[in-house]
């Protein structure tokens, strides 16, 4: 995973003022975001948050009510074909011929797309770990293997933008680890990866930037490291937590105090721990334990959305 993207990287995807209404339901509300070359951009939200609708609009499958999507500078809401030729997508579960082998399924797709060499088919099968089973029929594949073939199909045309919707769905831990290694490698090759996943631990490990939506509206966006910093807390405990809690509440720059399993979770940046300890000592309150409260993307997600990490 690379650091936050610099200004010199080419913009691959831009969403501007996007709205989508289904009758009385607003699925997407004034969505604005951009994705640049060489990054993994993760798009997250609870069930019904508008993620699938947004992906459908990006791919030209759904017409927006208002706003536009630009891919490589091309307006996907008016003429999606020039952009689609440079995009590979795994949306939901890929469909293949059950009686054909994995290799032959990719060959059939390559024939349909045109201009794809047999060596590219072998290369994509190797990338997703299916070389040894390439000659077996699709119907004999496990759910995880079917998902890997779907990823291979998305990569077949060597796209500049790869859209992956739940790419680890159905994979065992070993397969999940392989895909986790594959995703950032695609970005390192100069592609942009637009990732939708409910596995937030995996997302945290592979993403450069993250956008979180709820009820169709963008509620947070930025580098993963920046989003994790917004949830910085200290884990504190004393012989008696009640006087400690009162003393913490008297410190003006303490943003909040909550009780959790015998500890206090204190909304204070970790780098101010020593300063806070001195402030408490001045009130003659002494702590027996003070450590960083470990924060992960799932914790930040739950805090922002107030819901589980569903699709």
- At 307 the pLDDT is 62
In the chain, which stretches have pLDDT less than 70?
Answer: 1-8, 92-93, 230-231, 307-311
Question: Do residues 89 and 154 lie in contact, with contact meaning Cβ atoms separated by under 8 Å?
Answer: yes
11-22 and 66-71 strand pairing: antiparallel
- At 2 the pLDDT is 47
- At 86 the pLDDT is 94
* Alpha carbon distance 35, 32 (integer Å): 11
**Whose structure tokens read 């004034």?**
30
- At 295 the pLDDT is 77
- At 209 the pLDDT is 96
């Amino acid at each position: 995973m690379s650091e936050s993207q610099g200004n010199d990287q080419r913009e691959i995807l831009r969403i501007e003022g996007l709205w989508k209404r289904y009758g009385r339901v607003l699925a997407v509300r004034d969505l604005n975001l951009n994705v640049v070359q060489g990054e993994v951009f993760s798009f997250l939200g609870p069930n019904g948050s508008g993620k699938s609708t947004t992906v459908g609009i990006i791919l030209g499958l759904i017409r927006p009510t208002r706003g536009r999507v630009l891919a490589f500078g091309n307006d996907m809401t008016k003429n999606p074909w020039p952009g689609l030729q440079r995009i590979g997508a795994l949306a939901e579960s890929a469909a293949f011929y059950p009686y054909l082998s994995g290799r032959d399924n990719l060959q059939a797709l390559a024939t349909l797309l045109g201009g794809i060499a047999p060596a590219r088919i072998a290369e994509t099968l190797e990338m997703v770990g299916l070389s040894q089973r390439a000659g077996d029929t699709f119907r004999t594949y496990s759910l995880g293997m079917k998902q890997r073939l779907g990823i291979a199909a998305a990569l077949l045309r060597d796209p500049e933008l790869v859209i992956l919707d739940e790419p680890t769905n159905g994979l065992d831990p070993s397969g999940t680890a392989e895909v986790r290694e594959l995703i950032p490698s695609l970005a390192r090759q100069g592609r942009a990866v637009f990732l939708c996943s409910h596995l937030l631990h995996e997302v945290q490990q592979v993403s450069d930037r993250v956008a979180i939506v709820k009820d169709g509206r963008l509620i947070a966006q930025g580098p993963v490291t920046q989003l994790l910093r917004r949830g910085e807390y200290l884990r504190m405990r004393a012989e008696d937590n009640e006087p400690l809690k009162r003393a913490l509440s008297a410190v003006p720059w303490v943003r909040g105090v909550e009780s959790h399993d015998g500890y206090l979770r204190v909304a204070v940046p970790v780098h101010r721990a020593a300063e806070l300890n001195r402030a408490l000592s001045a009130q003659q309150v002494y702590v027996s334990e003070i450590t960083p409260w470990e924060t992960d993307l799932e914790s930040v997600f739950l805090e922002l959305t107030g819901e589980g990490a569903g699709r």
